[in-house]
Structure 1
C-alpha cells in the first residue's frame, strides 16, 4: 500500500519536474505461490528511481538563517534557483520568468466620482411590481385591570393599542404583548398592588384563520396600605407643620400619585410659611408581605425659618436700582418669608418687558431675626432686554373701512419705566398722530401715569371732525401678562374740535368749533380667566365723565356708561357669552353736544349687522345724528375646535334722542363668525346682516379684528 500511495503522489501534479518510471511485468517464478493453479499475474510495487539527488536538492534551496527568532528575509533577496542540465531518465522543467507588468491605464489615476452625483433612483422594470408588505391583524383582550380601575389608563399607554391592531408578523405582536405585561405591572404598583402579576398569551382567533388575539391577564393581588408614617425633620413653628402639609395617614393606599403629590405639597407649602430652603429627600417605604403594610419615612431638611430682609441686585446689564425694586415688592422687611410674595415680585418684573433674563431667589445672610428666625435677602439677577418695540394692527369693518395703526415704543426712555410712544392711524375714514409719555409703577406698584397729545381727522356718515387733544391720566390697567381684578383710571382732558353737523334750525349742515374740558373716570371689576379670550367669569365696567363744552356759552353735562359681560362654559369646547350696555348723557340738549361726544350704535364692537354709527335718529339728509342715550345687547355661542372656532351670534341695540334708553324700536342683527386662535389672542372675522332691514341700511356687514367682540 505504501508503494502504491507513493506512486500516486509521484504521478500527481503536486510534484512538478518529477516523472514516474515504467512498471514492468514480474519475472517468472516471482508470482503467486505454486499451490494455486494458474494464478493471475500479481503486480508488485514499482521501483521509483531517484531523479534529483538529495545533495543537489538541498543545494537548490535558498539559504536561511539558523536563528529561528531572526526576522524574515526580504523576498527580493532570494536568488532564482539555477536551471539544472538535463539528466538521463528525467524530464527537464523549463522555468520561465513572468513578463513585466503592463503600464497602468490613465483612467485609474482620475479622482472618483462624488457619491452625491450617483443616480440612486431605482430602475423600474416593466412587467414587475413591488411586493406588498405582509400584515396581520390582531385583537386585544385585557382581563383583571377593570377591577382596580386601570383599564382606561392601560389602553392609553398600551403598545398593542398603539399598533392599531396591525403588525408585520406574530413576533412583533408577541413583543408588544410583553411590553404590555410590564406596563400592567407598573400600573398596578402605582396603585399599591405590589404583588400584582401579568401574563400575555397569543393565539389564533378563530383557529387557523391567520388573525391573532393578544390577551393580557392581570392579577392585582392584595392592596398595600401605609403603616407608620414618619417625617424625619427638625421641630417646626407651628409644631407638626411638615406632617400636616404631607397629609399622609396610616391606612391610606400606597398610591404613587398621591404620595408624590403629598411630597410636592411639602415642597410648596413650607416655603410659603417661613422655610425658604426646605429640601425634601428620598422617601423610604418598607413593605411587609405578610400584613400588606408599608412603613413610610420621608427625610426633610427644613433649613432656617426666615423673615424678609432687603433686596440686593446683580447682573451684567441691570435695569432697575434697588429703590425701584422696593416699589414693586408687596411685602415689608421683617415679615415672615412667603414664596408667593417672591413669585409676585418675579411676575411684576417680567410684566415690565424690560428684561432678557430676570431671576429672584432668597439668599442667607446669617443675621438673626425675631422669634429665632434668620433674615433672608432677595437677590434679583437682571439683564436688560431690547427696550424698543414696533407694533402694528390692521382691521376692517363696514362703515369704518380699513384702519391700520402702527406704533413705536421705547419702554425705558426715561428710567425707570418711563416710556416714549409714537403712534399713527391711517384708514379710509380716520387719520391721526399721537405722542405719549407713560411711566409705569409711578411711585406705587401697578399705578401708571401718562401724558398724551394727539391730532385726528375723522370722516364718518355722522360727522367729519378735526380734533386736537391734550390729556393726563393716572390708571391701574390690565395687560395680557398681568390681568387685574380691579382696574381704574382718572384724569383730565382738553379737547378742541372742529366738526360739521346738521343744524335743525337752519335745515342744513354747518360747521362749528367746540372747546371741551372733561374729567374722565373709570372703574372695572374683572373675574374672567383671560383678557383677550375669556371662557368663564364676568366683567363690570362703569364710566363717568363730567364735561363742559364751550361754543358761545359753556354747557356742563356728564357722560355715563355701564356695561356688563358674562362668560359661561357649557362644555369643553362651547362657551356662551353675553353682553349688556346702557348709557346716558344728562345736563344738555342733544343738538348742543358736539357730534363727536354723542352716543352712536352699530359696528363690530356694538350691534353687528349694521354699519358703524348707523343706528339711531337720522337727520333729514339721511345721515345719523346720534343721541343722548343707548342700550345694547349681544349673545354668542363660541365653539372651538383646535385652533379654529365658529361663533354664531345675535346683537340688539338702539340710540335715543332722550335722556333714558326706553328699549323701544330695538334693532337686531344676526350673523356668524370665524376665529383663528393664536398665542396673542383670537383673530376675529364676523359676517352679519340686519333683521328686518330698512332702506339704506347695510345688507351685509363684515368685521375683522384681533380679540373677541367682547
Structure 2
C-alpha cells in the first residue's frame, strides 16, 4: 500500500485538543453540591450584582445600569443638575419647527408582469382507427391559456404548467391513452431578444387502448336483445370515457322505457393489459322485475287527489311501464302551476299482472304552491293605441283546477272588466271548460260600442308540453251591445241596440315543430259561428273563417313564413249586422302598414264601416341570431261589401321588425308603411306585442 502523507502532524493535533482530564481542571473531580447549597450560592451572587448596578460618572451622579449590564450613556457633554431638570419647559412658539422630509417610497411593482406564450407539442395523434385533435379542448380548460399570456412571476408560470400537465393526462386518459407521458418546461432562450418566455408542454400519447372484450352481466330481458341492441360500444373501438358513460346512460334510460322501472346500472370494471394495449370491459346490470302500470296514490300537501292525477296521465292500468309517460305526468302536474314541488315514483306491489310482470303503484308526492297569480301585459298599435291588460287569478279556488280569473283592460280606445271561471283538464287532459261574463267599452273609428257578454266554451287545446295534431272548440254566447253605425240614407251616425245569440265551432290541424315559435310545418284552422241578431226582427247569419300558415327553414338561422286568411258572412245584409260582428282588416295582427280596421269600405268621413268578406296574406323572412332576430315582411289584404271575397283591389304594406326571444315566446316590434299610400293613411305604423305575427 502506498504511503499517505498526514494532513497535520500528531504533535500539532494533540495541542489542538482542549484539556479534559482532572489533572488539567480540578473542578472536574469536585463532588456535586446539593440543590440547597447551589440556591444559596446563586442568591449571594445576585446580591453582589445588585450592589454593582450603579456606575459613577463625571460629577458624582450615578447612572443606572441597563438590564444587560451595560451602563446608560450620559446625555450631553456637561452634567445636568436637579435645578435644571425642575425648570419649566419653554413655550411652544419659541421652537423653530422644520417640516420633516420623507424619502420617496419605492415604486409600486404590482404592475410588473412576465409575458409568456404557450407551446404544445405532440397533442395531435393518429392511429389506424381514428384521428383526434384535442387542442381545442385543452385550450378551453388550460390554466396557461386562461392567464392570457401574463403572470406575476416565474413561480406562477410553473404552477400553471403543473396544473396543465395533470389536465393533459386526464384528457388523454379520457380518450384511451392511459400510458401517455407529459413533460413541461420553461424555455428562456428568447429573453435576450426581448421575446416572451415559452411555457412548453411536450406530449407523448403512447398506445391508445381498445376494447378486447365487452361483457354485460344481466338477467334475460324481454325482448331478449334489449340491452345489446341499445348498447353502442363495440369490441375493437378505442376506450373513450365519454362514449362509455353515454352507453351506460343509454341502458339506464332504455330499460325503464321498456317496462323495467327498477333497473340499475352497477359499477363498471375495465381491466387494462399494458402489453397488448387492450381492455376487458365488464358491466353488471340489475334489471329488476318487468312491470305494468297499476293505480295511483298521493301524499303530501295536496292540490288535488289521486283521481285527478289519473285524469292527467296518458296511460291506463295494465299498460307496460314506460318512464316517458311518468315524466309526462310529472310535467303536466308542474304545468298546472299548483305545485312548488312534485315527484312521481313507481312502487312495487308484488301483485302479478300476468306475462311475468307485476303491477306498480305510482306514488305522487305533492307540495302545493301559492295558487294566486297577478299578471300584466302591454302593447301598442297604430289605430289601436296603447293597451294595458292585467289579471288576478286563483288557479285552484274550486278543486281540482277550478280557477277564478278577474281581468281588466285599460287602453286609449278600449276599456273592460271580465270574470272567468275555468276548469282545466276537465274530465280529460288538456280539455278546458270556461264560463265568461264581461263588459267592455270600445271606441274606434269604425264604431263605438258598450257591450255585455256571457259565454260558455269547451276546448281541447295544444299546450307547450303536449302539442296536438288536432284541436277543437265549441260553445255558445249571448251578447247585448249598443253600437253606432253610419246610416247612408240619413247621412249621419245612428246608435242601435243589438241582441245576439251565437254558437261557435272550431277545428284545427297543426303540423309545426313549435307552438310558440314554429320553424317548419303548417297549420290550418277553420271557424264557423252561426248567429242570430235581434234588431227589430230576428236576422240569422253565419260567420265563416279559414286560416292557414306555413313555415320553411332555409338555413339554421333563416325561416320563411307565410299565411292566408279568408272570411265570409252569409245570410244577412251588412246593415243588419252589428258593426262589431263585421269583418275588418288592418293592424298588427292583420295587414301591417295600415291602422287598425282601416282597410275596406268607408263612409263619407273616411271611417271604416266593415264588410261581409275579407282576404289577407303575409310573407315573412325571419333571421335569428342568439336571443335576437330581424324580420322583413310584406302583408296584403282587403275587406269587401259582399259575402264573397273577390281578391281584387288588394292593398299592400311592407316593413321590418325586431324580435327578442324569451322563454315564453318572442317579443316583437314591427314598423311598416303602406305601398301606394292613399290620402289619410299614415306614412309609418308601429306595432308592439308579444309573440310572432303568426
Q: Normalized against structure 2, the TM-score is what?
A: 0.81
Match of 1:283 among 262, 268, 275: 268
Cα contact 2:430–2:462 (8 A) shared by 1: no
Q: 1:159 to 1:364 in 2, by over 3 A?
A: same
Q: Shift of residue 398 of structure 1? A: 1.1
Match of 1:416 among 393, 400, 403: 400
**Within 2, Cα distance between the matches of 1:177 and 1:126?**
35
Cα contact 2:118–2:145 (8 A) shared by 1: no
Q: 1:131 to 1:158 in 2, by over 3 A?
A: closer
Q: Does 1:653 align with 2:637?
A: yes
3-state SS of 1:561 partner: strand
Q: Normalized against structure 1, the TM-score is what?
A: 0.79
3-state SS of 2:570 partner: coil
Q: Which residue pairs with 1:13 in the alignment?
A: none
Q: 1:225 to 1:79 in 2, by over 3 A?
A: same
For 1:17-96, list aligned pairs within 5 A: 66=36
Q: Shift of residue 536 of structure 1? A: 4.0
Q: Does 1:261 align with 2:240?
A: no
Q: Deviation per CA, 1:230-288, whole angstroms, max 9, x where unpaired?
A: 11112222223222222333223322222211111111110111111111011111222
For 1:95-106, list aligned pairs within 5 A: none
Q: Shift of residue 429 of structure 1? A: 0.8
Larger Rg: 1
Q: Which residue pairs with 1:635 in the alignment?
A: 619
Q: Deviation per CA, 1:20-69, whole angstroms, max 9, x where unpaired?
A: xxxxxxxxxxxxxxxxxxxxxxxxxxxxxxxxxxxxxxxxxxx995399x
Cα contact 1:489–1:521 (8 A) shared by 2: yes
Q: Which residue pairs with 2:325 in the alignment?
A: 341
Cα contact 1:609–1:670 (8 A) shared by 2: yes
Q: Which residue pairs with 2:228 in the alignment?
A: 243
Deviates more, 1:163-172 or 1:500-509: 163-172
3-state SS of 1:520 partner: strand
Q: Shift of residue 318 of structure 1? A: 1.0
Q: Which residue pairs with 1:467 in the alignment?
A: 451
Match of 1:231 among 210, 216, 226: 216
For 1:399-478, list aligned pairs within 5 A: 399-478=383-462
Match of 1:138 among 117, 128, 132: 117
Q: Shift of residue 612 of structure 1? A: 0.5
**Within 2, Cα distance between the matches of 1:500 and 1:467?**
12
**Within 1, Cα distance between the matches of 2:104 and 2:645?**
84
**Within 1, Cα distance between the matches of 2:121 and 2:544?**
67
**Within 2, Cα distance between the matches of 1:325 and 1:498?**
46
Q: Which residue pairs with 2:94 in the alignment?
A: none
Q: 1:553 to 1:95 in 2, by over 3 A?
A: closer
Q: Deviation per CA, 1:602-643, whole angstroms, max 9, x where unpaired?
A: 111111121101111212221111222222222333334444
Q: 1:129 to 1:322 in 2, by over 3 A?
A: closer
Q: Which residue pairs with 2:600 in the alignment?
A: 616
Deviates more, 1:391-400 or 1:139-148: 139-148
**Within 2, Cα distance between the matches of 1:665 and 1:260?**
65
Match of 2:279 among 294, 307, 325: 294
3-state SS of 1:323 partner: helix
For 1:304-323, list aligned pairs within 5 A: 304-315=289-300, 317-323=301-307
**Within 2, Cα distance between the matches of 1:479 and 1:461?**
36
For 1:664-675, list aligned pairs within 5 A: 664-675=648-659
Cα contact 1:395–1:403 (8 A) shared by 2: yes
**Within 2, Cα distance between the matches of 1:693 and 1:498?**
34
Q: Which residue pairs with 2:589 in the alignment?
A: 605
**CA RMSD, Structure 1 to Structure 2 (Å):** 3.5
Q: Which residue pairs with 1:191 in the alignment?
A: 175
Q: 1:468 to 1:408 in 2, by over 3 A?
A: same
**Within 2, Cα distance between the matches of 1:253 and 1:132?**
48
